[in-house]
Structure 1
């Protein structure tokens, strides 16, 4: 699973460096399509790494929340997500101040809102371009916590949740209510649901109902991905995408996690994959904007070739991700988790201890009644 995570992150990274225009073109000085004509034709599909992430997330969240209370689930998510996220906000903002020609810094008020990870519903611009996926993940966590974790994760509750979420996602297209769409996320729900069902298959074994949920999720997911990423009428696109390639990559997302669920990849337990998996989250957060800074400096200022710049930019982001993991995530994450748990235990109401009952007073037996002496009338 760690290997799949770093692969998905590298797919997204390749998309941001060679598979799109806009700020990427500004960073290179030329369109990546001209610099990497063959690579860019593949890099345009790298954005589907997000869908791979969502299937993995459904699997991992169901696994990690099993047997945990709602409080434990909340503390694990906060301590896992926020330390590296705050570090990425600080680093990207600092880079924008040093070299605003690549990306201009946001006003202080908007930057501070970004620290909450709630900038999208508030309507504030994002410091990190990729953090829109964190808002999607946060809504998934909230739904899963309220409907499953709150009462305890069980097979039955996860199955009911998967079925109800799928139905709600499908019906939201008919209802056309923006709030409902924002809550049930019809375009992303199938990927999370598929991951949840695949974890149940991993835990309990193959089951026709569970494979039916996975198949339905795959059918819906490939449709939403194709609608979002392929437009047959589009002409002014960076590189045209094939609907068949989109279908193939979505199928890979479900198939690779299914292989893990069935134990087919059990022997792939190389130690470096665990290390690479630990770098995935900080690398994902920083690679976009900071990578554009690196590309501009290495290619346009220092004159390195495009190929060397691409490799050096990816490598430097991996090194920086390791530093964030080593210096921020490892010391700060567990400390936040312990502090939150300690405070929760301190604030937890305790039942008053009843006063011990008084010892029973022994009851002495009553003396026998005197036996009347008959009066014999004189001595």
Structure 2
């Protein structure tokens, strides 16, 4: 991102989104916790929580996730070959997802079964067996949410991990950006990606017409909702040397987002995808984070494990303590699993994938590990993991 120009008011307080020293891990963790809070209403039986433009807090957090992913993943694609890019994308999302499925099937679900039936008799002969649960969902597309008809005896029965649905569409966006990166014109000129973004918003605006010709396809519905945010983040990465991140710009982004959501029913959030992405990137640039948090990204683990942890807490009756206490207990119980996912699965797999990299990234925004950083005591923080 460019520096301030004193002749322009919107550059007041301009900041640079340093690829190695930024708060994006913190922003993503905040978004993951927002999803946890949103699910707290449903899973504790306290209602559905606040909604804006038909989306709860968790829905808006997912929009934010896709915008930040678009920024980081476009950087990964534009600086790597297609094959290398795909290896990195699979390494980042898939192993931790598989482990989460296994933990749900063979740890969480048996606990849920025993809590209701008093033992494991019959557990492996139910319609959705543990292995059946894993096999049904192994492609990232969630086709089964229960294991052996658990969780039961909770306010929200029949779903162990309602957060995992978005990963299928996230990976679809990875494939979309991977394909777009094959066109030299799109890689060289931001206007091409801007046109794709405009087209995606226009398709969302005409969703009703499309649904008549696609049989109300649910996958298309979710892609129309999420792709504009991903592309908006990608476009801002391409414009990183021209766009100034500043607090006046962030304030204007908030105003534009609220106006679009208020004035444009149905597709206002998608129309606001670019200012929303801008605001999140500004927040990531100014958010102070300890070096430990910058080096370790536990947001993904928090996202995928919070829901089953909340279900176990509900099974234990923790939801009767009140929504705030229930959510706080869920955070405390989820963080160790998220840390374990990062340290034992996500980071080792990504390191393995990077060791096989044929060529270094071609852009300074995805700096190699030996790149210099500002003089700060202690070890240099690692770049955001993509």
Classify the TM-score, shorter chain: 0.5 to 0.7
Flag the structure with larger Rg: 1
Query: Equivalences for 1:102-181 in 2 at 5 Å?
Result: 106-107=128-129, 108-119=131-142, 124-126=143-145, 128-149=161-182, 151=184, 153-156=187-190, 157-175=192-210, 176-178=212-214
Structure 2: which 5+ residue stretches go unaligned? 1-23, 118-122, 147-160, 245-249, 360-386
Pair 224,155 (structure 1): closer, same or farther in 2 beyond 3 Å:
farther
Query: Equivalences for 1:333-372 in 2 at 5 Å?
Result: 333-335=350-352
> Paired residue for 1:50, among 62, 70, 85?
62
> Paired residue for 2:233, among 195, 198, 204?
195
> Paired residue for 1:205, among 222, 243, 252?
243
> Paired residue for 1:99, among 66, 87, 112?
112
Structure 1: which 5+ residue stretches go unaligned? 26-30, 34-38, 229-242, 343-379
- 2:312 aligns with 293
Query: Equivalences for 1:171-320 in 2 at 5 Å?
Result: 171-175=206-210, 176-178=212-214, 182-183=219-220, 185-205=223-243, 222=261, 227=266, 253-259=276-282, 265-266=285-286, 268-275=288-295, 278-297=297-316, 299=318, 307-320=324-337
Instruction: Give 1:289 shift.
Output: 1.6
TM-score (norm 2): 0.63
CA distance in 2, matches of 1:159, 1:327: 39
Instruction: Compare the two structures and name the one with the higher helix fraction.
Output: 1
> Paired residue for 1:67, among 72, 79, 92?
79
Pair 260,312 (structure 1): closer, same or farther in 2 beyond 3 Å:
closer
Instruction: Give 1:7 shift.
Output: 0.9
CA distance in 1, matches of 2:258, 2:50: 25
Kept in 2: contact 1:295–1:310 (CA 8 A): no
CA distance in 1, matches of 2:49, 2:207: 35
Instruction: Give 1:49 shift.
Output: 1.0
CA distance in 2, matches of 1:67, 1:134: 23
What SS does the corresponding residue of 2:187 show, helix, strand or coil?
Answer: coil
Kept in 2: contact 1:294–1:313 (CA 8 A): yes
Instruction: Give 1:253 shift.
Output: 3.9
Kept in 2: contact 1:191–1:218 (CA 8 A): no
- 1:10 aligns with 33
Kept in 2: contact 1:110–1:125 (CA 8 A): yes
Pair 132,116 (structure 1): closer, same or farther in 2 beyond 3 Å:
same
Instruction: Give 1:141 shift.
Output: 1.4
CA distance in 2, matches of 1:71, 1:134: 20
1:323 is aligned to 2:347 = no
CA distance in 2, matches of 1:114, 1:285: 14
Deviation track 1:88-108 (CA, whole Å, cap 9, x = no partner) reads 101111211221368998333
TM-score (norm 1): 0.64
Instruction: Give 1:309 shift.
Output: 4.4
Give the alignment's Cα RMSD to 1 decimal.
4.3
